[in-house]
Amino acid sequence: MSEKRIRGIAASPGIALGPVYRYEPSLIKVEEEGGQDEATELARLEAALAAARQEIRLLAEEAGRAVGPKEAAIFSAHELFLQDPELLQQVQERIRHQQGAASAWQAAFQHYIQQLQTVQNEYLQARVLDLEDVAQRVLRHLTGQAEESLQLSEPVVIVARELTPSAIVRCPRERVLAFCTAQGGPTSHVAILARALGVPAVVGLGDNLEVLRPGQVVIVDGEQGLVIAEPEAEALVHYQQQAQWLQHQARLAAETRQQPACTRDGRCYPVRANIQAPEEVAAARAFGAEGIGLLRTEFLFLDRQQAPSEEEQREIYRALIEAVHPAPVVFRTFDIGGDKPAPYLSLPREANPFLGVRGIRLGLKHRPLLRTQLRALLRAGAGQELRVLFPMVSSYEEVETLRRLVHEVEEELRQQGQALAERVELGIMIEVPAAALLADALAEVVDFFSLGTNDLTQYVLAADRTNEGTAPLADPFHPALLRLLQLAVEAAHRHQRRVEICGELASEPLALPLLLGLGIDELSMAPRAIPRCKQAIRRWTLQEAQQVAQQALRLRTAAEVRSYLHTCSPDETSSLER
């Protein structure tokens, strides 16, 4: 048997070695059936929906305990599907036409999913798997079948074409070494949940996944997005050492996570957390975050029928400031629009939502909504320093307009006798290439930059971040992206402005010498990544990092940059290819 290497998308870091477990749950399919009388079938439907709701609530609680509130919200969305009036109406209609409850449910749901698949919205399309999960749950109750759970007698690598969020949450964590799936991208629920559980994962393996057979020993490299079946002795030894080294580092990182992150020559970097809900503050603190470097305020604006009021927002922002004090919170104004719809705005469908009216473009178009958020923020910061960050900036005029707006709001609040923030720092996300190229001018009119490498990567490489097909192209180590980062940092520093980074690149230990060497001042990332990042910072001197950055900037391809960085971090991942 010879070694086989298959490539996918690195979705959750870590290395695992173990036998394959093929997870192929059987799907329930019902034949078209006539029902009993209408009242009986409607009652059966009602009972099945109630039972499914109950299960989903339990799952949400389990997910909340195992992975955290943000991930548990996946299941709240599942519960919402069950209440969709249009869907329920269709099922009831079919039952009224003498269909049995199970086949009526199946048909209506299939129709619903088909409709969703025609919508040109990657985010909604990625949720089809969640819908199927919910549909199956109800069907199980209607047909009286028990839920299939994963019975694992030993630690295994779970290999599946796709994995529903509920299957992942129900997995016995101590027996799961890694996840490998044919489908899924970096933003899929498998990726999100695997990262939250701390389980290595490689997704998007496509049909190559079929070479992985039950019981076969595989290495899963969640750092590189690589799966090696039947590894030869050399790979085995290498990965065993690598896994041991990572474990050792993880232990060290955990022990020192509350300590500052300083380079060997004594330059210390604030490492803060990216969060999307106030409930995540506790986890951020537990992982050693020194404040919140990115609060994605979208959570207050999505999945509801009315915009949040000024008072509702003020209370939430104030509570956050107090919870994190004396460390700062960077409040990013809502980045909605495009693929994150807000029902009360009745936004038109866009052919290219990522190139559409999102972030600050939407805020400036729906001015009262942004004004209300700014009023709430300025009031919440009463007596303190406030940091406000604007997403999706692509022009100087936008920044001028935003600054004017903030001043107007400040003036208005003063006139109304409201207490407000003592000092307001205004920052912009550098996530559109135009902003990086214009950084010199923009740095004159803002207090700080935050490098949003997730969007900057997709825009500079013209590779949709939610599209699995373009995932291999959207590599943040691409030299074109690095050059833009360099432009932005140098421009900011020429004007004595601070540069933060809040894109996912900040949480890649491999990228750290590069980022430090480019001159980043502060880092912010998912809470779980903080201990590892702090530990990586401690391995370098600033001078070494600067040399690495200089050299990396001369390279021509992302692969060259990665392989160069691997060779400079001999302890970590030397000689690993991407």
Which amino acids are annotated catalytic? Answer: 189, 502
Closest CA to 169 of 23, 20, 78, 60: 60
Q: Are 158 and 171 in contact (CB under 8 A)?
A: yes
Asked if 527 interacts with Mg ion (CB under 5 A), we say no
Residue 204 binds which entry of ligand PEP, Mg ion, none, with Cβ cut-offs from 5 to 8 Å by kind? none
Report, in Å, the least distance between residue 26 CB and ligand PEP: 37
Residue 289, CA distances (Å) to 196, 280, 536 in order: 16, 11, 15
CB atoms within 10 A of CB 34: 9
Does 381 help bind Mg ion (rule: CB under 5 A)? no
Please, which residue, 187 or 418, has the CB nearer to ligand PEP? 187
> Binds 195, which of Mg ion, ligand PEP, none (CB < 5 to 8 A, cut-off by type)?
none
CB of 454 to ligand PEP, least distance (A): 3
Task: Say whether 157 sits in a helix, a strand or coil.
Answer: strand
Query: Which residue among 71, 130, 455, 500 contacts Mg ion (CB under 5 A)?
Result: 455
To the question of whether residue 412 is assigned a binding role by annotation, the answer is no
- Name the minimum Å distance from CB 430 to ligand PEP: 9
Site string for ligand PEP, 284-323 (x = CB under 6 A): ------------x---------------------------
Q: Is 352 annotated as a binding residue?
A: no
* C-beta atoms surrounding 214 within 10 Å: 11
Length of the chain measured in residues: 578
Number of Cβ within 10 Å of residue 82's Cβ equals 18
Q: Is 404 annotated as a binding residue?
A: no
Using CB under 5 A as the binding rule, whether residue 452 contacts Mg ion is answered as yes
Which part of the chain contacts ligand PEP (CB under 6 A), choosing from 56-64, 91-99, 310-318, 448-456? 448-456
The response to whether 483 counts as a known ligand-binding position is no
Q: Should residue 223 be labelled a site residue for ligand PEP when binding is judged by CB under 6 A?
A: no
- DSSP letters, 159-205, are EES---HHHHHHS-GGGEEEEEESS--TTSHHHHHHHHHT--EEE--
**Binding positions for ligand PEP, 317-356, rule CB under 6 A:** 335
- Tell whether 454 is in a known binding site: yes
Tokens of 461: 């490489």
Beta carbons within 8 Å of 8's beta carbon, 6+ residues apart: 180, 202, 203, 204, 205, 206, 208, 225, 226, 227
Please, what sign has the CA dihedral across residues 411, 417, 418, 424? positive
Whether 523 contacts 293, CB under 8 Å: yes
Among the listed residues 455, 468, 500, 508, the single contact to ligand PEP using CB under 6 A: 455
Q: Which of 454, 486, 507, 563 binds ligand PEP (CB under 6 A)?
A: 454
Give the count of residues interacting with Mg ion (CB under 5 A).
3
In three-state secondary structure terms, 260 is coil
- Choosing among ligand PEP, Mg ion, none, which partner's interface includes residue 500 (Cβ < 5 to 8 Å by kind)? none
With contacts defined by CB under 5 A, name the span among 40-48, 164-172, 262-270, 455-463 that binds Mg ion: 455-463
Q: Quick check: 339 binds Mg ion (CB under 5 A)?
A: no
Using CB under 6 A as the criterion, what x/- string covers residues 493-522 for binding ligand PEP? ---------xx-------------------
Other beta carbons within 10 Å of 92: 17
In 347-497, beta strands by DSSP E: 385-390, 423-430, 448-451
**Quick one: what does residue 188 bind among ligand PEP, Mg ion, none, with the CB cut-off 5 to 8 Å set by partner type?**
none
Angle between helices 233-255 and 530-537 (to 10 degrees): 100
Could you tell me which stretch among 3-11, 364-372, 446-454, 491-499 binds ligand PEP (CB under 6 A)?
446-454
Residue 154's Cβ-count burial label (10 Å; 0-12, 13-18, 19+) is exposed
**Is 431 among the residues that bind Mg ion (CB under 5 A)?**
yes
460 binds ligand PEP per the rule CB under 6 A: no
208 annotated as ligand-binding: no
Q: CB of 24: closest distance to Mg ion in angstroms?
A: 36
The residues binding ligand PEP (CB under 6 A) are: 296, 335, 431, 452-455, 502-503
The residues binding Mg ion (CB under 5 A) are: 431, 452, 455
